[in-house]
């Protein structure tokens, strides 16, 4: 099934993709209008005028306005997915639904982002990112916050629950890894999954290291660093095991029509990257930042937290297998090969 056929299949099911611009390297974000009762929108795009304009134009193509929306569903906490939610909810009076773990964070977006940045700074310090680069990254993160925004979740959804609309029932499935709040919505009767950032065809979803959603926002009792890639792999395995899926509608790019093959390719990619990192630490002990530089060069500077998350995710796999060990030098961690 090619992209046009997949989108036509979704449209027949009353699901229309509306691509909305973002200021990020990933490009546009896919929001989805679900023609049902209540009239539902999955995700919103970032909080910027061009995104709002694009969303309004997309809705108009289907004879709808923002004021017609009755339910807005959030797939994850990233600003390209929730930035406009509260604006849309105020204009339409729509209910806002999201995985229950996300509700407290979304309500205190600014405080949550502040705590997230403090957590990220601790991770970056521990794993060798220089101070001047940390300051630059945190300054950039603070500047980006305006593209997100607080949102009041009026319908918190437990993992495994059902979101019942008039013509369909969506199973709510928590699939953390890319973010702590990643959620997919499964219409088993139609074999369709609204997959957001959980599985994207043209790029591998980055397993970002993020402060756990259940950690105190006030920063008290700082949480341990989560193992984002291990979590993401468990989520992918759960999705791979779903045998009643014909089509995944992602948050970016074109639809996925063979999720099993794509997930297997991602598993192979992660195994290959872990082997590359193992060879590097076999040469000499290195920090995660040094490993990122060895793998990606200048990209490791421009996207330091993304690449650091990638490296630490694969180091966690090697540590779990006993093929690597941590060596602490003061506040900084280096990785070396372990006993085979």
% of the chain with per-residue pLDDT over 70: 98
Please compute the mean of the pLDDT values over residues 242-269 and round it to a whole number. Answer: 96
Please compute the mean of the pLDDT values over residues 296-300 and round it to a whole number. Answer: 79
pLDDT at position 25 is 83
Inform me whether the pLDDT recorded for 311 exceeds 70: yes
Inform me whether the pLDDT recorded for 300 exceeds 70: no
Inform me whether the pLDDT recorded for 52 exceeds 60: yes
Question: From CA 6, how far away is CA 241, in angstroms rounded?
Answer: 21
Inform me whether the pLDDT recorded for 57 exceeds 90: yes
The answer to whether 163 and 157 are in contact (CB under 8 A) is yes
Structure tokens at 332: 């900084």
Task: Map residue 95 onto helix, strand or coil.
Answer: strand
pLDDT at position 339 is 61
Q: What is the pLDDT of residues 84-142, one digit of tens each?
A: 999 999 999 999 999 999 999 999 999 999 999 999 999 999 999 999 999 999 998 99
Please compute the mean of the pLDDT values over residues 186-202 and round it to a whole number. Answer: 96
Please compute the mean of the pLDDT values over residues 257-286 and round it to a whole number. Answer: 96
pLDDT at position 220 is 63
Mean pLDDT of the chain: 94
Q: Which domains does the chain have, with CATH numbers?
A: 3-267 (3.60.15.10), 268-337 (1.10.10)
User: Any idea which residue has 């029509």 for tokens?
Assistant: 257
Inform me whether the pLDDT recorded for 299 exceeds 90: no
CB neighbour class for 337 (10 Å; exposed up to 12, middle 13-18, buried from 19) = middle
Spacing of C-alpha 282 from chain mean position: 32
The answer to whether 228 and 207 are in contact (CB under 8 A) is yes
Task: Map residue 330 onto helix, strand or coil.
Answer: coil
Secondary structure of the chain: what % helix, strand, coil (to 5)? 45, 20, 40
329's enclosing H/E stretch is strand 324-329
What would the DSSP string read from start to end of 292-325?
Answer: HHHHHTTHHHHTHHHHHHHHHHHHHHHHHTTSEE
Inform me whether the pLDDT recorded for 168 exceeds 60: yes
Inform me whether the pLDDT recorded for 340 exceeds 60: no
Inform me whether the pLDDT recorded for 184 exceeds 70: yes
Beta strands in 43-182 (DSSP E): 71-73, 95-99, 155-157, 162-164, 169-174
Q: Does residue 38 have a cis peptide bond before it, meaning omega lies within 30 degrees of 0?
A: yes
Inform me whether the pLDDT recorded for 330 exceeds 90: no
3-state secondary structure 40-71: EEECCCCCCHHHHHHHHHHHHHCCCCHHHCCE
253's enclosing H/E stretch is none
Inform me whether the pLDDT recorded for 298 exceeds 90: no
């Amino acid at each position: 099934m090619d992209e046009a056929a997949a989108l036509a299949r979704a449209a027949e099911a009353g699901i229309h993709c509306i691509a909305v611009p973002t200021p990020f390297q990933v490009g546009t974000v896919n929001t989805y209008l679900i023609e049902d009762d209540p009239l539902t929108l999955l995700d919103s795009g970032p909080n910027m005028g061009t995104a709002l304009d694009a969303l309004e134009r997309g809705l108009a193509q289907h004879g709808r306005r923002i004021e017609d929306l009755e339910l807005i569903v959030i797939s994850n906490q990233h600003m390209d997915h929730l930035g406009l939610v509260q604006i849309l909810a105020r204009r339409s009076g729509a209910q806002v639904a999201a995985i229950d773990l996300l509700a407290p964070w979304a309500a205190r977006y600014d405080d949550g982002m502040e705590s997230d940045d403090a957590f990220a700074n601790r991770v970056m310090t521990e794993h060798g990112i220089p101070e001047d680069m940390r300051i630059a990254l945190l300054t950039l993160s603070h500047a980006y916050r305006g593209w997100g925004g607080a949102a009041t979740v009026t319908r918190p959804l437990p993992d495994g629950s059902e979101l019942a609309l008039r013509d369909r029932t969506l199973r709510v499935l928590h699939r953390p890894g890319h973010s702590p709040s990643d959620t997919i919505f499964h219409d088993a009767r139609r074999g369709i999954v609204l997959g957001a950032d959980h599985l994207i065809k043209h790029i591998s979803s980055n397993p970002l290291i993020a402060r756990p959603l259940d950690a105190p926002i006030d920063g008290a009792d700082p949480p341990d660093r989560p193992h984002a890639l291990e979590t993401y792999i468990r989520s992918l395995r759960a999705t791979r095991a779903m045998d009643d899926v014909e089509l995944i509608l992602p948050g970016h790019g074109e639809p996925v029509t063979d999720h099993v093959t794509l997930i297997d390719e991602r598993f192979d990619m992660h195994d290959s990257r872990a082997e590359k990192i193992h060879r590097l630490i076999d040469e000499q002990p290195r920090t995660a930042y040094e490993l990122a530089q060895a793998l990606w060069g200048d990209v490791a500077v421009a996207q330091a937290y993304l690449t650091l998350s990638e490296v630490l995710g694969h180091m966690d796999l090697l540590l779990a297998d006993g093929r690597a060990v941590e060596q602490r030098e003061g506040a900084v961690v280096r990785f070396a090969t372990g006993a085979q």
